[in-house]
Structure 1
Amino acid sequence: MERVILHSDCNSFYASVECLHRPEIREKPVAVGGDVEQRHGIILTKNQIAKRYHVKTGEALWQARQKCPDLVIVPPNYELYMRFSQMARRIYRDYTDLVEPFGLDEAWLDVTADSRGRDGMTIAEEIRGRIKNELGITVSIGVSYNKIFAKLGSDYKKPDAITRVGKDNYREIAWPLPCSDLLYVGRATKRKLERYGIHTIGDLANTPERTLRGWFGKWGEVLSCFANGLDCSPVARYGNQPTVKSVGNSTTTPRDLKNDEDVKIILYVLAGSVARRLREQGFKGRTVCISVRDNQLFSFTRQHTLGSYTNITSEISDAGLGLFRKHYRWERPIRSIGISMADLVPDTVPSQANLYRDEAGRERLEHLDRAVDWLKNRFGSFAVQPAVLLTDRQLSGFDPKKDHTIHPVGYF
C-alpha cells in the first residue's frame, strides 16, 4: 500500500497568532522580532502584508524598517505560540497518532491507515478547514507518498492552500524548482551544487548518484534519493520524545562582531550558559559545535570532538574559540553566533584518568563552576562574571538562558 503523508505548515505562524490577538494590527504590516533599541533581534516571521514590502525572515530589524517604515514589530510571546501549536496538534491527532512535529509551526502526519478510507486530499481539506475555523489561522498542506515531497508541497503554494505531489506528477511540480526548495539543502550546499551546474531539483535528480557521492560523500546519496522521491523515512509517533542529544545557545549580537576579541566575549557568555545547563541537567559532552552567521546571512558550522567529556565552562569556551579561529576568515562581520555540546553522557559516568592532563586542576574548575552556579541561582545571572566580560558590557550584558529564542522552522 502506498503511504499517504501530509505536511501541515501554519502560515506566518507567530505573526498570524499575534494578529489574531491584536485586532488593531491585522490590516498592517506586522513582524515578530526582538529588541529594536538593542538591535538584539531579527525578523522571526512576518505576515502577508509585510511580505509585499519584501521584508525577509532572518534580516535585522533595522533593515526591515528601511524597507517598510510602517512595519509593526511585536516581541515574541512563546507561551501563546506553544498553546496554539498544541491546539493544532490535538486536531492532527484526531486523524492519526503518527504525528511528527517539525518546530512549533509544522508537522508531518501519516494518514495511510485512515479508518474511514478517505484519501489524502479529503483529509487535508478537512484539517485545513478545522484549523481555520477552530484556531483562526491558516495552514498550507502538502500531500504526498513521502515526507520530503509532502514538505515541498506545503511550501509550494501559500497561504491557505493544498498541493498534492504524487508519483504521477512530481516531475512536473518538483523538478523545475530550485535545489534550495528541497528540505535540508542550505546555502552552502546550494552554492556547491551551482558550481557544478546543478540548479534545479530535476538537475539534481538526473545527476548520477556516484557523481553526487564523489562531491558530497554519503550526503550525496541522500540528496539523490530526496530529489527522486525515494525517501522512505517514517513519521514518528506523537509523544515519542527523543533523549537529549545536545545542549546549545546562540544569539544575534547587539552589534556586528569585527574581531576575535568580540567573538571571545560572546562565546564565553554562551559557553557559560551551555555549561551551566549541562550541569543542571546532569550531563557532560564531548563534541563542541559552533555556528556562525555573517551580516550577509551566510552561515557555517564546525565541530570538534574533545579528548574527554566535560561540562566545564572554560574548556567549552576555549574549544569553541579555537574552532572559530581555525575556520573563520573574517571576510565579513558576524551577525549571530552559537555554540553547543553534543555526544552527551550522564555526569555520573566516571572519566578516564589521563597522565598528561591536570586532573586535580579540572576538579577544581568543576567545583568553581558549581559554586558560581549557586551564586547565580541565588543572586542572579550577573552576580559573578569573569573580568573579560566587563570590558564590553554591550556584548556581554545578556543572559542566554533567560533570552533563549525559539525560532519558527521557516527561519532556518
Structure 2
Amino acid sequence: MGKASVIFHIDMNSFYASVEIANHPELEGRPLAIAGKPEERHGIIVTSSYEARKMGVRTTMTVQEAQKRCPGLIVKHPDFPLYRRTSEHLFQMLMSYTPLVEKASIDEGYLDVTGQIERIHPLRLASDIQARIAKELHLPCSIGIAPNKFLAKMASNMKKPMGVTVIRKRELADKLWPLPIGKMHGVGPKTEKILIKDGMFTIGDLARKDPQYIATKYGINMNRLHAHANGNDDRPVDPEAWDRYKSIGHSVTLARDTRSLDLIRSTFQKLASELVIQLHREHVVSYGITVTIRYYDWTTVTRQRSTVQPLNDQDEIVNVAYALFQKNWNHSAVRLLGLTLADFQPVSESTKQLDIFTYQEDAKTERLMGLVNELNDRFGDFTLTPAARLLNEQSSARQNEEETKKTEKR
C-alpha cells in the first residue's frame, strides 16, 4: 500500500483588493472595492476587501449600491497587469517548495507535498508558506491540507482570511458532511435545487446515497460529485495542466470581400463547428474568445472577451463571436475572419455551476451569456470576468495574430 498523498490548496484571499493594498499601503485597513468603470456609479463591483465586506459590499453589486452600504468605500479600477505579475511571482515561490504545482487560476493552485512530509510536518510547511507569502508579497492566503485535491479545495474555503485547515478522510462525518449541499465545490444553484428536491440537503445526504441510484437517476457526471462527497478524488496534481492548452483557433479567407451579415454569421458557424470538435476531443471548455477581422484593405482588428460561463457548444460560441464582431465591425467589406478560443479548463472542473446534469442542453437554451455580454458592453469590459480567465489574454491575442499572418502567407 502506497504512502498517502498530502495535497495543499493555496487560495489567495480577496486577491485583487489585497494586491492593491500591498502596493498602496495607505489603503491598509480601509474599505476597498475593485470595480469596472468605477468613475460611473453603475459600475459593477468585481471584488472587495474584508473591511468592505463587513459593511455589506458584495461582488456584482453596483458601485452606487456599495457606496450606500459603505459611505467611506474606496473604489479602484482593476490593474490586471499588476495582478498577473503578482500571480507569476506567487507561483514561482510555490515551485520552490515542490515541482508538483498545478495552477488552477490566477490566485489559486494545488501543491503535492507528499515528498516533503518526511522532513517537515504538513502544518509547519503550510504555516511557513503562508508566512512567506505574507512577508514577501504582503498578501493573505488560506491553505487547505488533505489527501486529495477536492478535499484540499474544500478545506481552504473553511477559514478565511489567513486560515490553515486540515481535512482527513476519517473526519468527513464531522467536517464535510454537515455542510449544506450548496457549499460543495462543483455544486451550483441549479444543481443545488435539484439535489434538495431529491432530499439531499447536506453533503452527507449525497454521500450516503446509493451509487447505483445516483448513476441511474443523474448519469455519470453526478458520479464524480458522489465520489467527492465520500472523500474520493484520484486526480493528480498536474504541473502542465495550465499550459497544456493555450489556445485553439481557425481562420478563413472568404471567397469574396463581403458585408453580408448572413455570410459572416455562417462563417462563424463553420469556424465554431471545428473548434467544438477539438473542445470535445480534449474534454475541455473555454472561457476566452478572440475574433479577428481582416478588411478588404488588409487592415486587421483583433478583439477579445473573457466569459463568466464556459463555452463548449457551437451556438454559444457563434453567439458570443458574432456579438463581438458586431460591436467592433466598421462596416467595411470583410476579407478574412478568425475565431480563437483560450483559457481552457477540463469539463469535470468547469465552473459553470449549471452543467452537472444537462450542460449541453443548457448551452443551447441558456441566455445568461447574452446578459453577461450586455452588462460588459454597458458597464465596461471585465465588469463580470472570472479572475481565473484573465491571465492568458495577451498571449492568446499574440497567438491569434501569428495564426492570421500564417494564413496570409498561404
- Please state which band the TM-score falls in when normalised by the shorter chain: 0.5 to 0.7
Q: How many angstroms does 1:218 deviate by?
A: 0.9
Pick aligned residue for 1:147 from 138, 146, 149: 149
Q: C-alpha deviations, 1:374-405, integer Å up to 9, x for none?
A: xxxxxxxxxxxxxxxxxxxx9968996xx697
Instruction: Please give the alpha-carbon distance, in whole angstroms, between the structure 2 residues aligned to 1:141 and 1:168.
Output: 19
Q: Which residue of 2 aligns with 1:312?
A: none
Instruction: Please give the alpha-carbon distance, in whole angstroms, between the structure 2 residues aligned to 1:218 and 1:274.
Output: 41
1:279 aligns with 2:281: no
Q: How many angstroms does 1:209 deviate by?
A: 1.7
Q: How many angstroms does 1:105 deviate by?
A: 0.7
Unaligned runs of 5+ in 1: 253-263, 284-290, 305-319, 339-393
Q: How many angstroms does 1:65 deviate by?
A: 2.6
Pick aligned residue for 1:226 from 225, 228, 238: 228
Q: C-alpha deviations, 1:31-54, integer Å up to 9, x for none?
A: 111013556742221111011122
Q: C-alpha deviations, 1:284-310, integer Å up to 9, x for none?
A: xxxxxxx9x9xxxx9789658xxxxxx
Tell me which amino acid in the other structure corresponds to 2:182. S
Q: Is the 8 A contact 2:42 2:64 kept in 1?
A: no
From the superposition, tell whether residues 103 and 272 of structure 1 become closer, same or farther in structure 2 (CA, over 3 Å).
farther
From the superposition, tell whether residues 29 and 194 of structure 1 become closer, same or farther in structure 2 (CA, over 3 Å).
same
Q: C-alpha deviations, 1:162-195, integer Å up to 9, x for none?
A: 0000122122111111222222111111111111
1:332-411 correspondence to structure 2 within 5 Å = 335-337=371-373, 407-408=386-387
Q: How many angstroms does 1:68 deviate by?
A: 1.9
Q: Which residue of 1 aligns with 2:323?
A: 269
Q: Which residue of 2 aligns with 1:6?
A: 8
Q: Which residue of 1 aligns with 2:127?
A: 125
From the superposition, tell whether residues 119 and 396 of structure 1 become closer, same or farther in structure 2 (CA, over 3 Å).
closer
Q: C-alpha deviations, 1:82-136, integer Å up to 9, x for none?
A: 1111111112111111111121111100011128532322211110111011111
Instruction: Please give the alpha-carbon distance, in whole angstroms, between the structure 1 residues aligned to 2:67 and 2:341.
Output: 43
Q: CA RMSD in A?
A: 4.0
Q: Is the 8 A contact 1:98 1:237 kept in 2?
A: yes
User: Could you tell me the percent identity over the aligned residues?
Assistant: 32
Instruction: Please give the alpha-carbon distance, in whole angstroms, between the structure 1 residues aligned to 2:128 and 2:149.
Output: 20
Q: Which residue of 2 aligns with 1:89?
A: 91
Pick aligned residue for 2:159 from 126, 143, 157: 157
From the superposition, tell whether residues 269 and 160 of structure 1 become closer, same or farther in structure 2 (CA, over 3 Å).
same
From the superposition, tell whether residues 267 and 37 of structure 1 become closer, same or farther in structure 2 (CA, over 3 Å).
farther
Larger helix fraction of residues: 2
Q: Specify the SS of the correspondent of 2:151.
A: helix
Aligned length: 310
From the superposition, tell whether residues 123 and 265 of structure 1 become closer, same or farther in structure 2 (CA, over 3 Å).
closer
From the superposition, tell whether residues 267 and 65 of structure 1 become closer, same or farther in structure 2 (CA, over 3 Å).
farther
Q: Is the 8 A contact 2:321 2:339 kept in 1?
A: no
Unaligned runs of 5+ in 2: 248-278, 280-285, 290-304, 309-317, 343-349, 391-410
Q: Which residue of 2 aligns with 1:56?
A: 58
Q: C-alpha deviations, 1:1-34, integer Å up to 9, x for none?
A: 1000000111111101111222232222111110
